[in-house]
């Protein structure tokens, strides 16, 4: 297939969102954002979905279980990602409260093949609105 189609009709079955926490306890602390990272213009959410082609060497292995476990292990080393962004008053300074709560994880199945998305690369990412991915976040 030469390029990605302009319109692709398909259905998606999305499961309930869940939090994936670090596999082991992580430090509880506050991490201040740098002045460069704390600019008002950078205060937006970025969401995305990654698609992964089936690996025939992994037949019989549930890919969702593998991804969930790997994410949990990665959060031990990148533990601020499992925390929550807070705004200090009255300065509006942003900090990450390293709570170890986890990150949102949503499993979904769609009624199309990877080849339907375009050139057949092994990994594809699209960025629909966060509300579409996770429902109401607050």
80 CB-side CA count, 13 A: 9
Is 91 within the bounds of a domain? no
Q: Which residue has the higher pLDDT, 7 or 98?
A: 98
- CATH number of the domain at 120, please: 3.30.559.10
Is 69 within the bounds of a domain? yes
Is 93 within the bounds of a domain? no
Rounded-to-integer distance, Cα 130 and Cα 104, Å:
11
* Segment 16-65, tens digit of pLDDT: 999 999 999 999 999 999 989 888 888 887 776 777 777 788 888 888 89
Is 120 within the bounds of a domain? yes
Residue 89: band (very low, low, confident or very high) from pLDDT cuts 50, 70, 90? very high
Is 92 within the bounds of a domain? no
Q: What is the mean pLDDT of residues 102-115?
A: 83
pLDDT value for 102 = 97
Is 56 within the bounds of a domain? yes
pTM score, whole prediction: 0.73
- Is the pLDDT assigned to residue 5 strictly greater than 50? no
pLDDT value for 130 = 55
How many structural domains does the chain have? Answer: 1
**Can you give the residue range of the structural domain that contains 62?**
14-27+40-82+99-134
Rounded-to-integer distance, Cα 57 and Cα 61, Å:
9
């Amino acid at each position: 297939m030469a390029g990605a189609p302009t319109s692709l009709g398909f259905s998606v079955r999305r499961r309930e969102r869940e939090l994936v926490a670090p596999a082991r306890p992580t430090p509880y602390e506050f991490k201040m954002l740098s002045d460069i990272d704390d600019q008002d213009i950078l205060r937006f959410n970025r969401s995305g979905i990654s698609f992964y082609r089936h690996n025939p060497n992994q037949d019989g292995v549930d890919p969702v279980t593998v991804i969930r476990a790997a994410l949990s292990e990665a959060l031990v080393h990148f533990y601020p990602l499992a925390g929550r962004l807070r705004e200090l008053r009255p300065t509006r300074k942003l900090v990450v409260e390293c709570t170890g709560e986890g990150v949102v994880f949503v499993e979904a199945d769609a009624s199309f093949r990877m080849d339907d998305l375009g050139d057949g690369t092994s990994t594809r990412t699209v960025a629909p609105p966060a509300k579409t991915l996770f429902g109401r976040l607050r």
